Structure 1
């Protein structure tokens, strides 16, 4: 038999074997095309505090939709019975592990040597709940992050503790059940808090808060070994305080985001930066129009997920049955009612439900929309003397007309929305001096005032 004919027969045989399933390479892992955000919730006066595991999803990594009506998907059943600072890691086998601080509430004087741990194949079910002891120190075990250390063939779990000063500790593990003895991971000569470790190629990045000046910094290492990091960025902060950095790689592979949690729930919950070069000191402050954190979210983590996983999470936990309206030109402010008047106020505030609306078919025309209050059901936004009020539906034709709007492309940004009055079609819902009203629109300022993002 000629060499050429032999090769042809061999290729044909291999093709046949593949066809019948006798020879088949394992499929490549699906690429991440969406994101999941794990967090707990707090609001200024505690009205929205919940110390269970919350999840939100996003397709662009910037604008987030809470799942399960922003209720927890799982809650600890041991230790303090509450969690803070949840961290999601996709393990080498493609499944997930969730780590969290064992702390229920805001009593930061508690000492606790344990972390909460769950396993999950898909974030739709959580199994193997346990607590793992990380050290024998008389101190806390806060804000875990974890990463795969290929040179060790193990995962590193890094967390905040105090051994005379605030440092990061590390324990190594293969199964998130048994861990090595804790050792100091990062102690730069000043107190630090809230580390996040991300591995990019052969470089390990550690972002953290410097407690001496309240700024966020990035450090890097070529090995990821304890005490091998060198700080390379300038200090970062937005607002009056910042902590809990989250370093996130864009699924498209074209850049990075850095999120920072506000120091206190009385400030905006999250701020963000972007960079095309995580290895450079080149973080750019992002306009708050570009991102919308999950409602009431505090100190969380973000992980990439596949389209199938995204769809599975939405199917399992459901999307919110309420919406919020974010101002285009004051993107830290949301439409809310206060004393039965419509206005825009900086988020967060309590009662946080004042900003939640059921956007229902228009009371006067189902082709339009009406806004029913979540915490005052039966009351709707309506105009009266051109001012927007929250009034009870008296089922008159006048009320139905006053409470109906047509949703159209945003007057200043077609990706957002504007709302034209049903019975005064030359007027649009807009804010003026932070109060809502309906007015004719003619200037660029008017158009910006009348443009909102419909979000969750």
Structure 2
């Protein structure tokens, strides 16, 4: 692999922001828009908006996108009465799904119900392949039960084909506060799990473990770097390996005006240390990418995306 695709949305006040956008990069540092910075896929089902994407390459070399079924542009003021707590408790129990053989021709949108009505909104799905069990883990954040005082936690379901899913189980929680926005990567025998903690600390935390659903331990050097940031201003971690073997962690900065929000990069020379250093100066974006996932792609796939989603 020698290029990257970033599936994301745009933080706008209009409904076209909560759709599927692609960014591409040859080096993982400098990002380009495609399709004139317009959506490549649009939601016509459920809430008619999608946020918080994950995209993955399946073992058969095809692709799947999963996203939160949510449109704040359409529904925040009236349906949810401008109340985030109401969104968390009463938001969609479905994930939107698209599949493709080539990143250009996509299936019709499907809605996948991953939780029953006792759960709150199914937020921010992420996918990782479970080598041990040879299936995929889809994990997301929810409140359960939705009408309880329980904090948000991370839940998961397993699937082999993205058509049928196991019943959800809890993956992890934090005893003193809620956690959301999980992202898991694998390297040299360890799973590295990033989550956003609401409080204590009010920033991203990193843990690692040798089993996908087993015990994890906090990585203190990561906490040291995160403590340098303003509390409660970063979310939606997505981590990927750069061409030189170092790792980039993108964090979505939302502590500013809506139209200016977007990702901020942090780089670790060795992910096993947990030390990610802010690296804004060596990265560039055409606009503010919002909550999504980076996936490695081939040169051929990069060229195909540029040709089929040109900037006129």
Which TM-score applies when normalising by structure 2?
0.86
* Cα deviation, residue 195, structure 1: 0.7
Match of 2:126 in 1: 145
Q: How many Å separate the matches in 2 of 1:92 and 1:201?
A: 19
Match of 2:142 in 1: 161
* Cα deviation, residue 300, structure 1: 1.0
Match of 2:182 in 1: 195
Gaps of 5+ in 1: 1-31, 322-456
- Runs of 4+ residues over 6 Å off in structure 1: none
Of residues 274, 277, 300 in structure 1, which corresponds to 2:270? 277
Q: How many Å separate the matches in 2 of 1:247 and 1:275?
A: 10
Match of 1:249 in 2: 241
8 Å CA contact 1:161–1:169 kept in 2: the answer is yes
Q: How many Å separate the matches in 2 of 1:220 and 1:75?
A: 36
What's the secondary structure of 1:188's corresponding residue?
Answer: coil
Match of 1:132 in 2: 112
Match of 2:10 in 1: 41
8 Å CA contact 2:45–2:109 kept in 1: the answer is no
Of residues 101, 126, 135 in structure 2, which corresponds to 1:121? 101
Aligned residue pairs total 284
8 Å CA contact 2:15–2:49 kept in 1: the answer is no
Matches for 1:287-306 after TM superposition, within 5 Å? 288-306=280-298
Cα gap change, 1:294/1:156 in structure 2, threshold over 3 Å: closer, same or farther? farther
Cα gap change, 1:303/1:93 in structure 2, threshold over 3 Å: closer, same or farther? same
* Cα deviation, residue 210, structure 1: 0.8
Match of 1:258 in 2: 249
8 Å CA contact 2:3–2:26 kept in 1: the answer is yes
Which TM-score applies when normalising by structure 1?
0.60
* Cα deviation, residue 105, structure 1: 1.9
Match of 2:80 in 1: none
Q: How many Å separate the matches in 2 of 1:206 and 1:246?
A: 10
Match of 1:315 in 2: 307
* Cα deviation, residue 49, structure 1: 5.5
> Superposition RMSD on alpha carbons, in Å?
1.8
Match of 1:73 in 2: 40
Cα gap change, 1:268/1:131 in structure 2, threshold over 3 Å: closer, same or farther? closer
Q: How many Å separate the matches in 2 of 1:121 and 1:178?
A: 20
Gaps of 5+ in 2: 77-83, 145-149
Match of 1:215 in 2: 203
Q: How many Å separate the matches in 2 of 1:140 and 1:277?
A: 35
Matches for 1:81-96 after TM superposition, within 5 Å? 81-96=48-63
Q: How many Å separate the matches in 2 of 1:134 and 1:265?
A: 33
8 Å CA contact 2:254–2:261 kept in 1: the answer is no
Of residues 71, 74, 97 in structure 1, which corresponds to 2:64? 97
Q: How many Å separate the matches in 2 of 1:294 and 1:244?
A: 19
